Chain A
């Protein structure tokens, strides 16, 4: 007979111990929302899309590094084209992946709560609408950071490893790191806020995903029409919400000059502000 048996009292007891504050609640909500959207504690089908897209986002950088690894013995490292995929262009290459990711993840963050009327539980005793919103935005942005900044950082690390002089490369290119991080963060914030704002208007995930994708495609069509057939000029391309974040990052952080920068900055900031205001309006305090 086992002598290690223990009897546990699982009866209900009052709790007088430590309690976390409001920031802790925001963090838990963000963490919970992000993990749920990525498929935690859900079936394998819910995990499939985010994992596949994340792998696809890393694929260009990993592929390039793999090719370099395979052929590096045949050539001098200095002869290899290190700028086949510059950091400034990486965000543009994976824009479609970020779009699909956002169309899948953002509705998952907020639509079920509205459909199942869980908001009343949250707002009654757990969080305020502002805290809920902060948690959801953080929860949407955190996974996006993984697929925006992550692949570029991997490429940066790989380039450093394959460079003739590791420390020389790091010394020369270290100024790229804040650009990568800032650019990736702003792209994540842009897609997170816009995706949540669109999703906040419906309780149906399919409608939210379709609405977000439709908005992107429609803006691309409108921007293209205004810029070229109507002869409005390149500035109107800033209205293309699909390519806007990558173009904004290239011009603001990496010094590209193929498009006018001012319209890109204005439209990018406007999208962030309008999305934030829409979210605040959709999640007003019950007391108001």
Chain B
């Protein structure tokens, strides 16, 4: 049986009077897993503990089945890490930096040079690789950080808020790159964010942290289950809307101003639209009837 990528059992980390992680039990085995939580929820602390940069006061933490400890140096070489904050040498070209870090992680020089080209190509910096990092835009620096994280062929990449500081276009491109890591390049991804949409677009599973505890840990597909059932929430005369729907042959369950009905094609959506127009009701929500990921996350964090 293959060991999970990350397995934490009762992991606790305390900084003075602050309990950063409190008996965290979590198992990460999806290709891409998102760590979701508000600022101070413990996302970065858990990542640093996985990297062996923090010593938990209690519990055990395993990566690829190996316990993370003081002698986890070789284990860390199997991991790529993209920190949240600025961490790139500004007076160095990106290609030099990526080659240098590849060599420090054990790659022979010729291999390091070749792989640096590959990594910079993957992140879209091949044309700008000889420019000093100090002249890069924020988006380019994020890409350079990602390139150094994958250059040594890690089995797991830890990305701490990879979309921080990016404009919408840059954010979309970065999320696309992150998605490629797990889907096309076969690298396991652990990504932290406090933006739900980022996790939803890139990850297969989500771990929700709140106040250092695991509030939820599930596959995104399970959290956002909805099937073919739609929910319609209306304002105005809900009874008239119900009657108009019934007149069009649609069977809906009513719960106050929310109607749940089975949708098997466009005619049902047309019926909803026409019923609303006829009854004068306003539609305030039309979406999957199950819990949305947002609902699930809010519920987990409450």
Contacts and interface: CB of A to CB of B under 8 A. Distances in A.
Contacts of A13: 118, 153
B51 interface: yes
B81 A124 contact: yes
B261 to A, nearest CB: 47
Contact of A120 (B83, B106, B119): B83
Nearest to B112: A28
Given A10-B121, A41-B93, A286-B53, A121 B76 contact: no
A12 B121 contact: yes
A29 B104 contact: yes
A16 B85 CA distance: 30
Contact of B104 (A28, A113, A120): A28
A125 B77 contact: yes
A25 B106 contact: yes
Contacts of B148: 121
A198 B108 CA distance: 33
Contacts of B90: 112, 116
Interface string B46-82: 0010011111000000000000001001001101110
Contact of B105 (A10, A41, A125): A125
| Residue from A14, A123, A124, A286 with most neighbouring chain B CB atoms (10 Å) | A124
Nearest to B84: A120
A113 B115 contact: no
Interface residues of B, number: 46
Contact of A125 (B80, B88, B93, B118): B80
A116 B111 contact: no
A118 B150 CA distance: 17
B66 to A, nearest CB: 15
B246 interface: no
Contact of A287 (B52, B91, B93, B117): B52
Contacts of B29: none
A24 B106 CA distance: 7
Interface in B89-133: 89-93, 96, 100-101, 103-108, 111, 115, 117-119, 121-122
Contacts of B81: 121, 124-125
Contacts of B88: 116, 118, 121
A128 B73 contact: yes
Interface in B139-155: 148, 150, 152-154
Contacts of A24: 106
Contacts of A287: 52-55, 70
A19 B122 CA distance: 22
A45 to B, nearest CB: 12
Nearest to A28: B103
A282 interface: no
B104 A112 contact: no
A12 B185 contact: yes
A112 B105 contact: no
Contacts of B18: none
B106 A286 contact: no
Given A17-B108, A25-B103, A32-B100, 10 more contacts: A15-B111, A17-B111, A18-B108, A20-B103, A24-B106, A42-B91, A116-B86, A121-B87, A286-B48, A288-B55
Interface of A: 10-22, 24-25, 28-29, 32, 41-42, 112-113, 116-118, 120-128, 285-288
Interface of B: 48, 51-55, 70, 73, 76-77, 79-81, 83, 85-93, 96, 100-101, 103-108, 111, 115, 117-119, 121-122, 148, 150, 152-154, 185-186
